[in-house]
Structure 1
Amino acid sequence: MAAESDGAARSAETDKLWNETGVDPVELHLGKDSGFTLRAYRMSDTLPTAKRDEEPEDGVSEDKASKDEVAEEAPEDEDAPLAEDEDADEPDEADFADDEPEEEVDALDAEPEEVPVFLTRKGKLLLFREPEALVAYVKENDDHDLAVIEEYAELQERVAVADIACEEDDTYELDLVVANLRGGHDTWEPELLIKAAEVGRDLGYALKNDSIVGALAPGSPLDDLDETFRVVVDGGLRGKLARRRLRKNDAQQAAIAWRGVIAKLNDHVEWR
């Protein structure tokens, strides 16, 4: 288990480091294990997001070109039943691959927005059970997604083990989410569940996982639940009405949905 972090123990020098680099240490509790990573928020137009996808896209293009050439040379194979079955098995993947370039063009045309950047590498979130391991990795490596921020070189020089002290807002107890939801409406902890949705969205975006993003996207049942929790926390008359609205949500269905999100996050974690 990772060592317990205590925001009150942070020194002025530690606060200065994180404020000046615009990065924060994050502690994630997942099931029986927990660990530390780093997160920053940057404007999307300052990040070379397309760079990581260049090689896979080229590979896909070359592969598709080769298949097209084969199809032209042997058109009679198109009528083979086996080929039709294979095509029928993967329509969604083919559509997704074809749509990727269009989505990137749309992203370039869209207004810049603030987006999360984590210590991720090759589609995996790097989680370190001990602060010492996290600091050693940061100082010795820049082959990961967080290295694209301008302040990374400065962070490598300055960060120390004592600086891996997470504030309460950056500590996420995802291991408690499902049990809390299953406990029923009277036991739900809005702050716990709001924070879970926050980090879930961030990680879904950073890991480019459409399933996680979709589960927490605007209009989804989990997002509607999150919005209701936020109204409850705001209090007042609207908060009282929101508490009544919460009782209309199926606790077991909410727990099942969150269990799926957390399972997908676990699948994308690389423990160190």
Structure 2
Amino acid sequence: MAADSDGPVRSAETDKLWNEMSVDPVELHLGKDSGFTLRAYRMSDTLPGAKAAAAPAEDKAEVEETDEDVKPGGKHAADDDAAPEDEDALEPDAADFADDEDDAAEEDEDALDATPEEVPVFLTRKGKLLVFREPGALVEYVKGNDDHDLAAIEEYAELQERLSADDIVCDEDDTYELDLVVANLRGGQEAWEPELLIKAAEVGRDLGYALKNDSVVNSLAPGSPLDDLDETFRIVVDGGLRGKLAKRRLKKNDSQQAAIAWRGVIAKINDHVEWRG
């Protein structure tokens, strides 16, 4: 399987390795730098500390109240904090009812947290994504270290034994050119490349979750402007009558605002990348 039309070709042995490990090498292009990391998808109940990745409600509210340019997802997250300054002003029954509602909400949140879901796991360590400029440096690190989040997967010890530099060949679907996103959006609707932007949203959501970065998560959350744009691109790619209608809808989007929003997301991701090798 080729990484791209001009890039290196994966051997059958390399394909077998990644399939058996259920891990993939990922190539990231960010600004003037690019490199490789690893990503896996696992059920959340098989990973330590999965519940901590959920965005705290108070942090979401703070983001929404201070970000005027791009409204992140979870539009009503701040409503929970809109309580009267003086709780004694509530009638006794109303106060009791409010407490009951809070308890019910906490129970519902705990139930959601307890439901296993498939989540992304990267080579992240202490809130940083480790990206290696050279395949050999990535392999050397993996073989010599297990103090990062990806080491929690069951297959990690076997991956350490079997991995070689020749295996760091990324599938085209796992190559993300985030460095092209802002320029493409600024080129206007006619120049937009849906596949490029869909992939950017995909890896952005994954990295937001893996890095526990609420700002990135919220910016791409359901109902956010960037998520709506992503959904429209997906309809366009699917084609048909809905695709034609979606193309018309794209023309109503402000390309400059979309570019500004994505520039902010990419900057936040870049701030949490640790370049190595």
User: Is TM > 0.5 for Structure 1 vs Structure 2?
Assistant: yes
Which residue of structure 2 lines up, in the alignment, with residue 165 of structure 1? 169
Taking the TM superposition and a 5 Å limit, the aligned residue runs for 1:89-108 are 106=110
Counterpart pick for 1:227 among 202, 226, 231: 231
Gaps of 5+ in 1: 54-101
Letter in 1 for 2:124: T
For residues 219 and 225 of structure 2, the distance between their equivalents in structure 1, rounded to whole angstroms, comes to: 8
The TM-score, its normalising length taken from structure 2, stands at 0.76
Does structure 1 conserve the Cα–Cα contact (< 8 Å) formed by 2:51 and 2:113? Answer: no
After TM superposition, the runs of 4+ consecutive aligned structure 1 residues lying more than 3 A away are 3-8, 50-53, 107-110
Q: CA deviation at 1:109?
A: 4.4
Q: Closer, same or farther in 2 for the Cα pair 1:230/1:214, shift >3 Å? A: same
Does structure 1 conserve the Cα–Cα contact (< 8 Å) formed by 2:222 and 2:228? Answer: yes
Q: 2:220 matched to 1:254?
A: no
Q: 2:129 matched to 1:125?
A: yes
Does structure 2 conserve the Cα–Cα contact (< 8 Å) formed by 1:5 and 1:165? Answer: no
Q: CA deviation at 1:172?
A: 0.1
For residues 109 and 229 of structure 1, the distance between their equivalents in structure 2, rounded to whole angstroms, comes to: 30
Taking the TM superposition and a 5 Å limit, the aligned residue runs for 1:146-225 are 146-225=150-229
Q: CA deviation at 1:133?
A: 0.3
Letter in 2 for 1:242: A
Q: CA deviation at 1:4?
A: 8.8
Q: Closer, same or farther in 2 for the Cα pair 1:50/1:168, shift >3 Å? A: closer
Partner-residue secondary structure (3-state), 1:249: coil
Taking the TM superposition and a 5 Å limit, the aligned residue runs for 1:131-142 are 131-142=135-146
Which residue of structure 1 lines up, in the alignment, with residue 23 of structure 2? 23
Q: CA deviation at 1:106?
A: 2.2
Structure 1 residues 127-182: Cα deviation after superposition (integer angstroms, max 9, x where no partner)? 00000000000000000000000000000000000000000000000000000000
Gaps of 5+ in 2: 54-105
Taking the TM superposition and a 5 Å limit, the aligned residue runs for 1:4-153 are 9-49=9-49, 106=110, 109-153=113-157
Letter in 1 for 2:274: E
Taking the TM superposition and a 5 Å limit, the aligned residue runs for 1:227-246 are 227-246=231-250
Does structure 1 conserve the Cα–Cα contact (< 8 Å) formed by 2:38 and 2:123? Answer: yes
For residues 225 and 244 of structure 2, the distance between their equivalents in structure 1, rounded to whole angstroms, comes to: 20
Q: Closer, same or farther in 2 for the Cα pair 1:240/1:122, shift >3 Å? A: same
For residues 109 and 130 of structure 1, the distance between their equivalents in structure 2, rounded to whole angstroms, comes to: 38
For residues 222 and 171 of structure 2, the distance between their equivalents in structure 1, rounded to whole angstroms, comes to: 27
How many residue pairs get aligned? The number is 222
Q: CA deviation at 1:111?
A: 1.8
The TM-score, its normalising length taken from structure 1, stands at 0.77
Does structure 2 conserve the Cα–Cα contact (< 8 Å) formed by 1:172 and 1:199? Answer: yes
Letter in 1 for 2:266: I
For residues 47 and 235 of structure 1, the distance between their equivalents in structure 2, rounded to whole angstroms, comes to: 38
Q: Closer, same or farther in 2 for the Cα pair 1:240/1:5, shift >3 Å? A: closer
Q: Closer, same or farther in 2 for the Cα pair 1:113/1:52, shift >3 Å? A: closer
More helix by proportion, 1 or 2?
A: 1
Fraction of identical pairs, as percent: 86
For residues 111 and 126 of structure 2, the distance between their equivalents in structure 1, rounded to whole angstroms, comes to: 21
Q: CA deviation at 1:227?
A: 0.1
Letter in 2 for 1:158: R
Which residue of structure 2 lines up, in the alignment, with residue 59 of structure 1? none
Does structure 2 conserve the Cα–Cα contact (< 8 Å) formed by 1:5 and 1:166? Answer: no
Does structure 2 conserve the Cα–Cα contact (< 8 Å) formed by 1:180 and 1:189? Answer: yes
Q: CA RMSD in A?
A: 2.3
